[in-house]
């Protein structure tokens, strides 16, 4: 491994001279929100482009708009058109995007042997076109496969897909099974977000060093400047006792969070929660808030990013991460960088993801989760201890450092003469 203090020097001497062409397939990007996988590929592409690499992004129209909203510049976009099929619903659109991606991958031509193809998720519209490129160009292409979350077994008690949503869970689970096998067999490097997932991709042809744990990253500079300034808002003057950032999705625990906040309000009647995000559960979240009569205690703020999101962090005391099924997640790290201690459930992935700065709650005890929130709000010494840990740990998430380390991993993998097999 390269010493962290020398990584920049190594990077400039050894990596930029290789003139790598990076082809990022992000054809599964959907909607106005931003998933963890989306955030990872956008920030990595931004950093890699800054260091002079040739970056091509393969997306459909929604993915292109998402990249532009997030100011991803100095890259080339290849659009695989599919927007006209939106009217047919999610499943048909998903299949169409997979097909158009495959057709696009069959048309691509590479004229050198220094290409890296990065499928930004395990979803079919990303992974199958990447597989086609790998099979077409063999040793002229390194395939990096992003596989950030194993779908929960829809029949297990831990599955967040319950009731009428079981069909969605089944579709997700069944569609991921062949992708897992294909990635395990053909990918040169696998990106995962959790240490427990590493062992699942080790084969007799792929050693542990070819499976890279990507924990995402944080833009540390704005929060570092703020926390070292005289403009930090005193806790007593902040609007929100806690904030949540993430997709309104079954796995993120957004419905459970409302039940938890009801318990918090029983002890602190004026407690205020900010919920940042959009997603398929927006209507259910709104209805749940009304049912529990929490309209004055919870603000739904929609999707926010950049400076707008930072303003909410400045006005918050805690960040909550109530995911019930997750591989890690980087939203909590963003809040932690702004000095917000975190509270979560004690998921296996979070043991290595957040060893500091986060209070873990027994799964899935809403009352203890609420107590942890209240304890942080009422115990100043306890709050400051967790806050300091949160800031310390968030500094390990700096995007510049992450992007350089990942590029180093790419360049040290020699795939010449690769033979596939598991």
* Under-70 pLDDT residues of the chain: 1-19, 158, 162-164, 327, 409-422
User: The CATH number of the domain where 153 resides is what?
Assistant: 3.40.50.2000
- Does residue 23 fall inside a structural domain? yes
Q: What is the pLDDT of residue 99?
A: 97
Residue in 50, 61, 191 with CA at minimum distance from that of residue 119: 191
Q: 276 and 170: one domain?
A: no
Q: What is the dihedral of CA 5, 7, 9, 13, to 10 degrees?
A: 160
* The pLDDT of residue 168: 76
Which residue is listed with tokens 């929130």? 373
Separation of alpha carbons 124 and 154, rounded Å? 19
Residues 197 and 273 in one domain: no
Q: Specify if 160 maps to a domain.
A: yes
Per-residue buried b or exposed e for 70-104, using 16+ beta carbons within 10 Å of the residue's own CB? bebeebeeebbebeebeeeeeeebbebbbbbbbeb
Could you tell me if 378 and 292 lie in one domain?
Answer: yes
Rounded to the nearest angstrom, the gap between the alpha carbon of residue 228 and the centroid of all alpha carbons in its chain is: 28
Q: Judge whether 417 lies within some domain.
A: no
DSSP of 222-275: HHHHHHTSS-PPPGGG-SBSEEEES--SGGGTHHHHHHHHHHHHHHSTT--EEE
> What pLDDT shows up at residue 163?
67
pLDDT value of residue 228: 95
- For residue 63, the surrounding DSSP H or E stretch is helix 61-69
Residue 418: inside a domain, yes or no? no
420 lies in some domain: no
**One domain, residues 160 and 139:** yes
Same domain? 357 vs 211 = no
Going from the C-alpha of 210 to that of each of 34, 236, 290, 410, the distances in angstroms are: 27, 48, 49, 9
Contact yes or no for 357/341 (Cβ under 8 A): yes
pLDDT reported for residue 156: 75
- CA-nearest of 33, 30, 63 to 278 is 33
Full domain range(s) for residue 170: 4-217+400-411
Indicate if 167 and 77 belong to the same structural domain.
Answer: yes
- The total number of structural domains in the chain stands at 2
The per-residue pLDDT for 34 is: 78
Helix (H, G, I), strand (E, B) or coil at 365: coil
Within this chain, do residues 25 and 142 fall inside the same structural domain, yes or no? Answer: yes
- What's the pLDDT score for residue 108? 92
DSSP element (H, E) containing 373: helix 366-378
- The order of strands in the sheet holding 21-25 is 76-79, 54-59, 21-25, 115-119, 141-146, 189-192, 211-213
Q: Which of 259, 236, 260 is nearest to 378 (CA)?
A: 236
Domain assignment present for 422: no
Nearest to 315, CA basis, from 273, 353, 348: 273
CA distances from 105 to 132, 369, 372 (A): 6, 47, 50
Same-domain status, 152 and 170:
yes
- CA dist., res. 156 & res. 60, Å (int): 34
Q: Characterise 138 by phi-psi region: left (phi > 0), alpha (psi -120 to 50), beta (else).
A: left
Are 238 and 122 found together in one domain? no
- Do both 273 and 310 map to the same domain? yes
Would you say 129 and 56 are in contact if contact means Cβ atoms under 8 Å apart?
no
Same domain, 273 and 181: no
The answer to whether position 244 is within a domain reads: yes
- Whether 388 and 405 map to the same domain: the answer is no
Separation between Cα atoms, residue 210 and residue 213, nearest integer Å: 10
Task: Report the distance separating Cα 163 and Cα 225, nearest Å.
Answer: 47
């Amino acid at each position: 491994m390269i010493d962290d203090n020398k990584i920049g020097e190594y990077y400039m001497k050894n990596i930029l001279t290789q003139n790598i062409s990076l082809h990022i397939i992000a054809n599964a990007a959907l909607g106005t929100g931003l998933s963890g996988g989306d955030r990872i590929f956008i920030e990595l592409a931004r950093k890699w482009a800054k260091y002079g690499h040739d970056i091509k992004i393969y997306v459909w129209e929604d993915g292109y708009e998402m990249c532009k909203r997030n100011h991803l510049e100095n890259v080339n976009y290849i659009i695989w058109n599919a927007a006209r099929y939106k009217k047919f619903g999610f499943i048909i659109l998903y299949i169409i995007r997979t097909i158009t991606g495959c057709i696009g991958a069959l048309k691509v031509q590479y004229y050198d042997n220094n290409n890296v193809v990065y499928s930004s998720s395990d979803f079919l519209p990303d992974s199958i076109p990447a597989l086609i490129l790998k099979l077409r160009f063999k040793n002229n292409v390194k395939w990096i496969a992003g596989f950030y979350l194993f779908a929960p077994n829809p029949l297990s008690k831990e599955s967040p897909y319950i009731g009428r949503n079981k069909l969605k869970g089944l579709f997700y689970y069944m569609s991921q099974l062949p992708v897992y096998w294909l990635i395990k067999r053909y990918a040169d490097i696998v990106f995962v977000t959790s240490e427990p997932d590493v062992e699942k991709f080790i084969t007799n042809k792929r050693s542990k060093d070819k499976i890279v744990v990507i924990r995402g990253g944080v833009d540390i500079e704005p929060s570092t400047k703020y926390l070292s300034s005289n403009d930090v808002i005193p806790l007593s003057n902040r609007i929100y006792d806690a904030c949540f950032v993430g997709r309104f999705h079954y796995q993120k625990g957004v419905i459970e969070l409302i039940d938890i906040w009801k318990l918090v309000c029983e002890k602190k009647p004026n407690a205020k929660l900010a919920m940042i995000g959009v997603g398929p559960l927006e209507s259910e979240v709104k209805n749940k808030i009304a049912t529990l009569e929490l309209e004055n205690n919870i603000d739904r703020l929609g999707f926010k990013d950049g400076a707008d999101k930072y303003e909410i962090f400045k006005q918050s005391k805690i960040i909550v991460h109530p995911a019930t099924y997750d591989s890690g997640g980087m939203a909590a790290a963003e809040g932690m960088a702004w000095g917000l201690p975190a509270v979560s459930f004690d998921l296996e992935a979070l043991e290595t993801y957040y060893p500091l700065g986060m209070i873990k709650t027994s799964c899935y005890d809403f009352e203890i989760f609420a107590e942890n929130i209240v304890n942080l709000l009422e115990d100043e010494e306890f709050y400051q201890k967790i806050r300091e840990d949160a800031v310390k740990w968030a500094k390990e998430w700096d995007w510049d450092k992450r992007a350089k380390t990942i590029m180093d991993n790419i360049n040290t993998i020699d795939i010449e003469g690769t033979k596939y097999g598991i």
